[in-house]
Amino acid sequence: MSAAGLPLETPRSARTRSRTNFELYSWLFMRVSGLVLIFLVLGHLFIMNILDGGVQRINFAFVAGRWSSPFWQVWDLLMLWLAQLHGGNGLRTIINDYAERDSTRLLLKAVLYASVVLILFTGTLVIFTFDPNIG
């Protein structure tokens, strides 16, 4: 394997020239966001699935209790954004690697970006407008 010029961001794709450093920042973002997500997501999974009875104790009142604290609001908001951007960027790489026709790539990425926007919008809206006295 030659050391120079192997495009690690899309290891299955043909080499192309690019005028920007977007893929460099994308590669760096995956490592930095991944490091933060290790604490946020593994902490979330531990609290929700393992600690103190796990998923059996979760209901509306449990969520209301957590989101009464700005600490957990910020935790969940940060986790939502980092996980969506990290996962969306990962799926973008996978699409670039395996979808060989231009039209297929375009369609799959359009669906991907639409779902990322939908989830970020819905999740952010819910965290900011949560009402413990609803219904």
- The 3-state DSSP class for residue 20 equals coil
* Contact yes or no for 40/82 (Cβ under 8 A): yes
**Interface region with another protein, contact rule CB under 8 A, candidates 15-23, 44-52, 102-110:** 44-52
CA distances (Å), origin 128, targets 41, 67, 69, 71, 115:
20, 10, 12, 13, 20
> Could you tell me which of 42, 40, 46 has the C-alpha nearest to residue 77?
40
Encoded one letter per residue, x for contact with another protein by CB under 8 A and - for no contact, window 67-106 reads: -------------x--xx--xx-xx--x------------
Which residues of this protein are in contact with another protein, per CB under 8 A? 1-2, 11-12, 31, 34-35, 37-38, 41-42, 45, 49-50, 53-56, 58-61, 63-64, 80, 83-84, 87-88, 90-91, 94, 115, 119, 122-123, 125-126, 129-131, 134-135
